Amino acid sequence: MLFRATLAFLAVPTVVAGLFPWLISRMSSPILFKSHFGFGLIVVGGIILLLSVISFYRRGRGTLAPWDPPKYLVVQDLYRFNRNPMYIGVVLILVGWALLVGNISNYFYAVFILVAFHLRVKVYEEREMERLFGKEWEAYKDAVPRWGIRIYPYESGFEKDRKNRDKLQKTS
């Protein structure tokens, strides 16, 4: 499974957030706004992306690839604060690219990918999550924002039950 996860990571985000923005930045286009702060966004986005992929592998027993999705709903790690940290990581990388090179086409690409991610989540992923995970998904969806950030980490019913059992055992 590690091989499949690595292959999926190299196939999908490397192309979307690495190869395509690099190729776009080579096209002649007016420079809109250029800043070295873009490197920081690339690093932060890369860390978020990597942590999200690891969660899919460790917690969900699957990969980020649509052909090998997680078998369990991932509600731990960064997913306790946001439902789509992987997509946020990719968009941060793309905005970082745009800032770093200043090419207006890279800015358009970042916006295009953001809209594509939003449509994918709304039209396909959320419906699929509801079909696969039912009430567990409903509880998670109602508690954790799609794009915003939850201040306090989300705990699934299973985690709450376990903590309550631990408290009862300590007091007994």
CATH number at 138 reads 1.20.120
Q: How many domains in the chain?
A: 1
pLDDT interval class at 12 (50, 70, 90): confident
pLDDT, position 41: 97
Distance CA 36, CA 25 (A): 15
pLDDT, position 34: 85
pLDDT, position 1: 64
Taking residues 11-34, report their average pLDDT: 83
Range(s) of the domain holding residue 21:
2-171
Structure pTM?
Answer: 0.85
Distance CA 110, CA 105 (A): 9
pLDDT interval class at 81 (50, 70, 90): very high
Closest by CA to 103, choosing from 31, 24, 46, is 31
Using CA atoms of 111, 48, 134, 11 in order, give the dihedral in degrees to the nearest 10.
70
Q: Which residue has the higher pLDDT, 101 or 29?
A: 101
